[in-house]
Structure formats: structure tokens, C-alpha cells
Amino acid sequence: MSSSPDAPAVTVDRAGPEDFPRIGQLTADVYVGGGLASPEYGVQLRDVAGRADRAELLVVRDEEGRVVGSVALVLAGDFGEVTESADEAAFRMLVVDPAVQGRGIGELLVRTCLERARAAGKRRMVLSTDRGMPAAQRLYERLGFTRLPERDWQPAPGIDLLVYALDL
């Protein structure tokens, strides 16, 4: 991530249990509070310990050590819900604190996921995103992801998720 005078100095780390409350609150606030997810899905968004068993949780910390972004990287298992083979990795629940959006934190998290997936021998990264998240879609497209419309899906009635992929 390039540094500019107004950009925070940030680091990417694996999340620890001490980070779970902040990750859960931040994710629910952004997704549910922003109208991107239902209150019912908010229960799953807050269940950070549950996803820690099925994904590698990454966090971005600002210069004070505060979690300002998070993502769940899925290298194995079914938590990705969008992977179709062992060659694919996925990430879910990418979130950036609105106070620091636009500073490259989301891109840093995505690039870190790509690096870790490559290091794990994965050949493709896939992800689902809601139609109501155009900023996320622009980021994915800028990083080289392309649409896989044949794999779009509905986890629940009225929730249409778009699938994107990037060959690693």
C-alpha cells in the first residue's frame, strides 16, 4: 500500500480472539447498518469465533493498533460456499471501517488474500458480492477479477450474489 501523509500506517495480521468482538461489531455495523445485509444475517456476521474455525481471519490495524478492516480467507472446506474445487480459495465478509474507507485498506486485504492463496498452491480466487456493493465490485475488477455469471447464486430469496474470479 502506498503511503501518503493522510493515509494511516497499517499492518495486516492474523486476528486473535481478542479481536473477535471488534471484527463482529464492525462487520455487522457496515453490512447491516449500511443496508447491505438483513438483521438475521447480522447474527452470522457477529459470529467471528464460528468463522475462525473455518477460515483464516485477517485484520488491518491502524497506527494505534485498532482493527480497521477484516476479511475471512477460505483456503479449505465449505465456508466459502462459492468454491467448487480444492484448487479454489475464497474470501468472505471483507469489511473496512467507514472512517478509513478510500485509503487502500480493502485492496490491501484482497492482495494479502491473493498472496496467501498463491502460497497455499491455489489456482483461482473466487468470491461472492451483493449487487448493492458497487464500490467492492470496482475494486475487484480493478484487481483483475472477472465475472462468473454462471455461478451467481441466492443464499436466500431476494438475495442475489454475483460471483467473481481471478486466476492465480
Q: Is residue 2 part of a domain?
A: no
For range 64-90, the mean pLDDT = 91
Beta bridge partners of 110: none
Residue 45, C-beta contacts closer than 8 angstroms, at least 6 positions apart: 24, 27, 28, 31, 32, 37, 93
pLDDT tens by residue, 34-49: 888 888 888 989 999 9
CA distance 36 to 94: 12
Whether the pLDDT of residue 7 is over 90: the answer is no
Determine the structural domain holding residue 109 and report its residue range: 11-125
Q: Is residue 92 part of a domain?
A: yes
pLDDT for 143 equals 97
pLDDT band, residue 80 (cuts 50/70/90): low
Q: Is residue 100 part of a domain?
A: yes
CA distance 16 to 80: 20
Mean pLDDT of the chain: 90
86 against 132, higher pLDDT: 86
Q: Is residue 146 part of a domain?
A: no
Domain total of the chain: 1
CA distance 7 to 100: 8
CA distance 48 to 98: 19
pLDDT for 82 equals 86
Instruction: Give the residue among 131, 84, 139 at the shortest CA–CA distance from 110.
Output: 139
- 114: CATH: 3.40.630.30
For range 82-100, the mean pLDDT = 94
CA distance 10 to 3: 9
* Low-confidence winner among 76-85, 100-109, 130-139 (lowest mean pLDDT): 76-85
CA distance 98 to 94: 12
Set of cell numbers at residue 27: 462487520
For range 78-86, the mean pLDDT = 83
Q: pTM, whole model, 2 decimals?
A: 0.91
